[in-house]
Copies of this chain bind each other. A is one copy, B any other.
Amino acid sequence: MSAASKAKRDDPDLDVVVFEKGQWVSYGACGLPYYIKGEIQSLDDLVSVTPEEFCEERDIDLRTGHEVVDIDPDDAVVTARNDDGDVTQAYDALLVATGSVAVTPPIEGVDREGVYTLGSMSDGKELREYVARARSDGNLQQPDRGPACQFLETCHGPVGIVGGGYIGVEMAEALAANDFEVHLFQRGGRVLKPFSEATSEAVLDHLAGQNVAVSLDTEVRELDGDGAVEAVVTADTRVPVEMVLVGTGVRPRTDLAEAAGVELGETGAIATDASRETNLPGVYAAGDCAEAEHVVTGEAVYVPLALTANRHGRAIGRTVAGRPTDGGGVAGTAAVKAFEMEAARTGILDHDVARDAGFEPITESIEAKSRAGYYPDGGTVTVTLTVDRPSGRVLGGSLVSEYGEGAVHRSHAIVGAVTEGLTVSELSNYDLAYAPPFNTTWDPILTAAKVIDGRR
């Protein structure tokens, strides 16, 4: 919808047709955990522009309930299927924005009733209904019921979460806030793996103080039950649950494009050039189905996040309206709220990835006060920087703080450093804003840069 809107705004003479399989367009899927939590009252609140506004105000021919089933690049025609049959549409330029689909790992019982993923608005609706049902049933569990309710005197659930990434952590918050006892199972050794170890540890410590039992290095073997899911089974234990959320990532939805001869990259997502054009002339791809170039390595990566989708969509809109536009690369930046903590990461933190790109990475973390030490409020910001030792170039960063203490907004500075190829020495000389209610004289970012510059 970003591409459609921008193309139409830049060139009102264009005929812009959008086919959408479902009924929802232009919605903030990132808000779903907060809808399920109960902080947002209606799914409609997540919609930034309604279908009516697209049609009537923006003059875009939006056709919901139309699934594109074929792209014929030779004749430049797409075929879409709706309840009334098939329709064809010729095109001069085509954008494939088919998004991603939640990955469900090959666990026995993953298809049972009571097992959810969270990718779409309808997923969000179902999960909210589950929460409402469990709460209105009033069947609060008592602490003497085995592993349930370890933390609360009474609780709903228990429920299981498979995966300790963004969705897993955000949904742990959403469910715990509704008095569910939450068991989170993470295959690897830490939560929020794309972040630094220091960030993961800080979030893990925080989760332990909430209504969440985290099992690390724990592979889920089976989701057991007699019909609906009743237990999460691991090598060591069998945890009774009433519901399971699987949040183990997404993969690009590429079938349609592949069938038309669109080439995928090594990541498995659609390969494009800097203008987001695929190997088929006039066929573009953007969003969760497509690759993007990493600003540090220049390599194609698959980082399916909202801003990139919006930005590349907008760039394609400009391009097809006559102004060829490069929507820019990605730094792999991401942010997450985890209960009363916040965290952000950007760039390259993984040493193997850095070495593959020709760097000699070192990583340091510092803990610093988030505001002047004498200022009455404030907490701690932990800043991790990964740096190329010989050159001092900033490759990546990860920050974590209490919610409201600025880890996420501070990460903006590190995005700049990563994108511009700054050295830690240059970063440490930045004239960043300072006043006691906001930071120490040297903002934690400057302190981190100074410290790692001294140790490399």
List residues of A whose CB falls within 8 A of some B CB: 28, 30-31, 34, 39-40, 45-46, 48, 295, 305-308, 310-311, 326-337, 342, 344, 346, 372-376, 403-404, 406, 408-413, 415-417, 419-420, 422, 426, 429-439, 441-443, 445-446
Closest Cβ neighbor of A430 among chain B residues? B415
| Contacts A/B (CB < 8 Å), 29 sampled | A28-B436, A30-B372, A30-B441, A31-B374, A31-B375, A31-B436, A46-B374, A48-B373, A306-B441, A307-B441, A311-B442, A328-B430, A329-B429, A333-B432, A334-B435, A335-B433, A336-B435, A404-B404, A406-B409, A408-B433, A408-B435, A408-B439, A409-B410, A409-B412, A410-B412, A412-B416, A412-B432, A415-B431, A416-B420
The one of B308, B417, B442, B445 in contact with A431, judged by C-beta atoms closer than 8 angstroms, is B308
A310 surroundings in chain B (CB, below 8 A): 441-442
CB A341 to nearest CB in B, in angstroms, measures: 11
A326 to nearest B CB, angstroms?
A: 8
* A411 contact from B305, B333, B433, Cβ within 8 A: B433
Contacts of A438 in B (CB 8 A): 335, 337, 342, 408-409
A430 to B419, CA, bound (A): 8
Give Cα A405–Cα B439 distance, bound, in whole angstroms: 14
A332 and B431 contact, Cβ closer than 8 Å, known pairs A46-B374, A438-B337, A441-B28: yes
A34 to B372, CA, bound (A): 11
Q: How far is the CA of A433 from the CA of B305 in the complex (A)?
A: 10
Q: A28-B436, A306-B441, A415-B430 are in contact. List 12 more A-B contacts (CB 8 A).
A: A28-B374, A30-B436, A34-B437, A39-B376, A307-B441, A333-B432, A408-B433, A408-B439, A412-B445, A413-B413, A415-B432, A415-B433
Given known contacts A311-B429, A335-B438, A28 and B372 CB-to-CB distance under 8 angstroms = yes
Number of copies: 2
User: A218 → chain B, closest Cβ, in Å?
Assistant: 26
Residues of chain B within 8 A (CB-CB) of A307 are 431-432, 434, 441-442, 446
CB-CB < 8 A to A446: which residues of B?
307
Asked if B39 and A335 sit within 8 Å, CB to CB, the answer is no
A311, A334, A417, A431 pick with most chain B CB within 10 angstroms: A431
Q: What's the minimum C-beta distance from A55 to chain B, rounded to whole angstroms?
A: 21
CA distance A82 to B439 in the complex (A): 36
B40 touches A429 (CB 8 A): no
Q: Name the residue among A331, A404, A433 with the largest chain B CB count within 10 angstroms.
A: A433
Tell me if B406 and A328 are in contact (CB < 8 A).
no
- Most B Cβ at <10 Å: residue of A327, A329, A374: A374
The distance in angstroms between the C-alpha atoms of A45 and B376, with both chains bound, is: 11
In contact, B328 and A429 (Cβ under 8 angstroms)? yes
Q: Are B45 and A335 in contact, with the CB atoms below 8 A?
A: no
Decide: A305 and B434 in contact? CB cutoff 8 A: yes
Q: Please determine whether A406 and B406 come into contact, CB atoms closer than 8 angstroms.
A: yes
- CB distance B344 to A433 under 8 Å? yes
Look across to chain B and name the residue whose beta carbon is closest to the beta carbon of A429. Answer: B328
Bound Cα distance from A310 to B344, whole angstroms: 28
Measured CA separation A419–B437 after assembly (Å): 24
How many angstroms between the C-alpha atoms of A429 and B404 in the bound complex? 26
CB-contact partner of A409 in B372, B409, B416, under 8 A: B409
What separation, in Å, do the CA atoms of A332 and B432 have in the docked complex? 9
Distance in angstroms from A1 CB to nearest chain B CB is 12
Chain B residues closer than 8 Å to A432, beta-carbon distance: 307, 333, 411-412, 415
Complexed CA–CA distance, A436 and B40 (Å): 11
Contact A403 B437 (CB under 8 A): yes
A295-B431, A437-B337 known; A34 and B412 CB under 8 Å? no
The CA-CA distance from A305 to B333 in the complex, in Å, is 32
- In this complex, what residue of B is CB-closest to A431? B331
Residues from chain B with Cβ under 8 Å of A46 in the complex: 374
Across the interface, A413 reaches (CB within 8 A) one of B327, B331, B342, B416, namely: B416
Interface centre among A295, A328, A432, by most chain B C-beta atoms within 10 angstroms, is A432
Q: Shortest distance in angstroms between A377's beta carbon and chain B's nearest beta carbon?
A: 9
